[in-house]
Structure 1
Amino acid sequence: MSLWTATGCTERSAASGIENPPPIIVAAAADLQFAFTEIAELFEQRTGQPVTLVFGSSGHLAQQIENGAPFDLFASANIAFVERLRDKGLVLPETVALYAEGRIVLAVNRDVEIEIAQLQDLENPLIQRIAIANPEHAPYGLAAKEALLATGLWESVEPKLVYGENIRQTLQFIQTGDAQAGIVALSIANVPEIRWTLIDADLHTPLLQALAVVKSSSQPEAARAFAAFVNSEEGRVIMRRYGFVMPGETLE
């Protein structure tokens, strides 16, 4: 898990109505690292409300909330984790909202000279290590597994798989060459070290991403304000730029 804290110099928070408010703590799925960092910076500029972003796999973050972690808002890569917390009374049910649909891509380290343009190419014996996020707790890893199962490739490539704790670590395996190829989120794929190909969304369960305010939040109104900003047009412009599909829209 990584931690990022927004900083700012405005004196009054429109979100909380107090001077120098403490940061809200947002538990965010790792596929949101680039998009939410930008959104949090803009939110703070607009409101003066600091934001601390804690990134990890959705399953691990949900478990931390169940164990009492002091998060104010949970942004999951899979609505199922938010619904589980809602059913346990751990998030405010009226704040549960979809904010995006994610996509997965086949990513290849640029130093790999083998042609890897479709999932079937992963069976090439020269490809020895393939990275995906752990499907047990990472929604993008589960989507990767579903795509490999749907194409009949799971059994042949499973011995080559290396698992990242979250989708950001999975990308790092490919960036460093520890894995020659892998399946990662489109939202974090535009990095210099890799080339990527979009994977057909019909090969996996839709990655419906949802957020909710944590019931134990010490700053529920500020958390609600950040959630609303994510789903505002300003927030959605940023999300679209990182390849997310907005609720009710399709990927162009």
Structure 2
Amino acid sequence: MFQKVLLQLGLLLSLSVGLAQAQSSEPEMLLYCGITMVKPMTEIAQQFEKQAMVRIKIAQGGSEDLYQSAKKSGQGDWYLPGEPSYRNKHQAEGILGEFVTVGYNQMAMIVPKGNPKKVQPDPREMLRKDLRVILGNAESGSVGQESKTVLDKLNIYPKVVKATAFLSPDSRSLMNAMRKDEADLTMSWRATGFFPENAAKLDVIDLDTKIAKPQALLLIMLKSTNQVAQAKAFMTLTASEEGQAIFRKYGFLDNKTAVAR
């Protein structure tokens, strides 16, 4: 009997070791992902891991900070910034490869639930003296960069920056501050207002597309990847109807959206 128990324990141990070895032998891949897209990309990555027997790590942060990390480390498989200007800005540096469009996001105004201050769909509202305004930092992430683009069109960016209570590095920190009632108004990516933790406390005020043009989300393969076939397969999944359904679920416009040039 004792020998039988030992044999069973030995088999269980062998199976456990075998499983651990199989898991550790799975290739590990790295996605540099802008904060706003983390939720849909995490869900898509989990699906891909099951299909392709790989593990995907997601480094999240502001788009510019992520690019600099990828450049400095010389490692990683994909880069997904919050707007296409980052590809245009850094393409000549030689680390960015082919890409697919995986959706669109658009700048919007974000206010507390019910819009108690009666904020109108006009970025000039950010100059109201009765409002506590916060803004993204244009030096660190796409939300700040796109806010600057929108406000520059109206020639009010320096005035708004001067009037803000503080600048935040990314959309997550902006929305956290709004949920904590640290501000009455901000500008953020529209999709963030529909995330469950934000939708319960905040409202989205949409802006005219002439003021806030939808921005393409480009999933870019890094030339540092050692898993080219897997990297391309992941890009295909993300751009497919299956991947796009996940993006729509989180409030993004899908890659079939017609955008005026």
**In which range does the TM-score fall when normalised by the shorter chain?**
0.7 to 0.9
Unaligned runs of 5+ in 2: 1-18
Q: Which runs of 4+ in 1 moved over 6 A?
A: none
Percent identity of equivalent pairs: 17
Does 1:125 pair with 2:133? no
For 1:81, what is the secondary structure of its paired residue? helix
- Equivalent residue number for residue 192 of structure 2: 188
Q: 1:144 to 1:42 in 2, by over 3 A?
A: same
Does 1:45 pair with 2:50? yes
Does 1:227 pair with 2:227? no
- Equivalent residue number for residue 146 of structure 2: 143
Unaligned runs of 5+ in 1: 1-10, 12-17
- Alpha-carbon distance between aligned partners in 1 of 2:213 and 2:257, rounded to the nearest angstrom: 17
Offset, 1:32: 0.2
- Equivalent residue number for residue 113 of structure 2: 110
- Alpha-carbon distance between aligned partners in 2 of 1:71 and 1:53, rounded to the nearest angstrom: 10
For 1:203, what is the secondary structure of its paired residue? coil
Q: TM-score, normalised by structure 2?
A: 0.78
- Alpha-carbon distance between aligned partners in 2 of 1:186 and 1:111, rounded to the nearest angstrom: 17
CA contact (8 A) 2:102 2:254 kept: yes
- Alpha-carbon distance between aligned partners in 2 of 1:148 and 1:89, rounded to the nearest angstrom: 31
Does 1:170 pair with 2:178? no
- Alpha-carbon distance between aligned partners in 1 of 2:256 and 2:244, rounded to the nearest angstrom: 12
Post-superposition CA distance 1:14-72 (Å, at most 9, x none) = xxxx9851331100111102221222222233333322111111111111122125221
- From 63, 67, 84, give the equivalent of 1:62: 67
Q: 1:117 to 1:25 in 2, by over 3 A?
A: same
Bigger share in helix: 2
Q: 1:157 to 1:86 in 2, by over 3 A?
A: closer
Q: TM-score, normalised by structure 1?
A: 0.80
CA contact (8 A) 2:103 2:254 kept: yes
Letter in 1 for 2:134: A
- Equivalent residue number for residue 30 of structure 2: 25
Q: 1:81 to 1:145 in 2, by over 3 A?
A: closer
Post-superposition CA distance 1:192-211 (Å, at most 9, x none) = 22111112222145422212
